Amino acid sequence: MSASMNGVTSEKYQLTVSPDFPAKRMSSWFIFNTWLQKALGMPIHLELYPDFDSQRAAISADKVDIIYANPYDAAMLVREKGFVSVARPAGKCDECIVAVAAGSGAQVVEDLKPICRVARTDDPGVNLVGMILLEPASLGHDNTQILTVESYPLVAKALMRGEAEVGFFLAEAFDELSSLVRHQLRPLVHSQISDFSHVLLLGSRLAERREEVTRVLLDMPAEAKGQDVLAELGFAAWERVTQEDTEFMIDLMDTLKA
Amino acid sequence: MLPDMNPADVIGSYREVVLPLYGLPPRRVLLVDREVAYPDGRLIVSVTDLRGVITHCNSAFVEMSGYPQETLIGAEHSILRHPDMPAIAFKGLWDDVQAGKIWHGYVKNLRRDGAFYWVYATVIPNVRAGKVQGYTSVRRKPARLKVAEAARLYAQLLAGEGGK
């Protein structure tokens, strides 16, 4: 299948991104893909899936070679599909915000009562952590009512319209809501886990190029174009992730799933 | 071996208990009747080797335990053991994780200053290349209702063990 010559392959690879990235970053990933193709000298097609289910179907069908994965999916990709870890955004962690409407009577999580209506997206990692943050109120799957919507702005809308008492947000997505919307919401709990982050992983067809891919990513801040691309993505640098770093993150995720 | 607790570290009046520890010499612990609330949004994380010696702990672990990280790394996890916890609870934990299973439970932990805090703990075996090389434990904020149930159960179990 592979037609390689002098280390440069004509085979086309697929890059994809966890569907939880903010909509305003969509063009950033196209810019990153253009840069990555040039840096690695190989053709890469960026495929952005509209939701987690369609992305998982593509992963199951072995269509994905490079993925910027959320920590929840990283577990499946590494343990079940043999992906290897490369890098993560330096100093950037995935955190979750549990928010209520600004006028809600709930001041702390323990004020929430069953049956509590929860608005959320289909982001599995955020939903997992969000439910854990509700545990101090003795709330779980048996005494909450879930309203799944397509995006974080729609989670906000559900809270503002009183369709849900509480909403789960990726903290980065909450921060990127318009100030008008944010003023109508109030964070009840902000996770401070620090150990979860998105991570760039390579599938089996590219695993042997792990060091090369890592090097070009780590070198990005050293050149002007690389800095521009990073600025588009919203972080200053990549940092190396060893396989053990990723295994540790997966162990943590597994304890929360259990 | 865990050193005895130091009265200089303890805040307020305390009572002293000699705590038997499985596989270790007994430890003199100093107890203060004060609960420290679990902080919202945090996870307390640690990793131990197969003998229960701490090899990694995060900042929430350091803050809630009151011990500096350099004291915790290399210490047995039972540095947090509170005498209100029945031995059988930890036997269940070890039986489960050594059998490759996940363990959950409510745990009352002892701080360096003699106070205590409750957690909901999950412990999983760390499997690498098919072999268990240690254990990861993640603690999170428990529901008060569950803490009250656990405290009642542990008191009964302790009475059965001939404890206080």
The ipTM, to two decimals, is: 0.88
Residue A194's pLDDT band (boundaries 50, 70, 90)?
Answer: confident
pLDDT at A3: 36
- Does B45 contact A252 at a Cβ distance shorter than 8 Å? yes
| Alpha-carbon gap: B136 to the closest alpha carbon of chain A (Å) | 7
CB pairs under 8 A between A and B: 65
A139-185, pLDDT tens digit by residue? 999 999 999 999 999 999 999 999 999 999 999 899 999 999 999 99
pLDDT at A23: 73
Q: What is residue B76's DSSP assignment?
A: B
Q: Is the pLDDT of residue B164 over 60?
A: no
Chain A partners within 8 Å of B104 (Cβ):
258
Annotate A58-124 with three-state secondary structure.
HHHCCCCCEEEECHHHHHHHHHCCCCEEEEEECCCCCCEEEEEECCCCCCCHHHCCCCEEEEECCCH
Q: Which is the CATH superfamily of the domain at A96-190?
A: Periplasmic binding protein-like II (3.40.190.10)
- Does B122 contact A109 at a Cβ distance shorter than 8 Å? no
Residue A7's pLDDT band (boundaries 50, 70, 90)?
Answer: very low
Query: What domains are defined for chain B?
Result: 13-160 (3.30.450.20)
Domain ranges of chain A: 4-92+195-257, 96-190
Q: Closest Cα partner for A255 from B35, B161, B105, B122?
A: B122
- Percent of chain A with pLDDT strictly greater than 90: 78
Same fold: A4-92+195-257 with A96-190: yes
Q: Do A213 and A83 form a contact (C-beta atoms < 8 A)?
A: no
Q: Which is the CATH superfamily of the domain at A4-92+195-257?
A: Periplasmic binding protein-like II (3.40.190.10)
| Alpha-carbon gap: B61 to the closest alpha carbon of chain A (Å) | 12
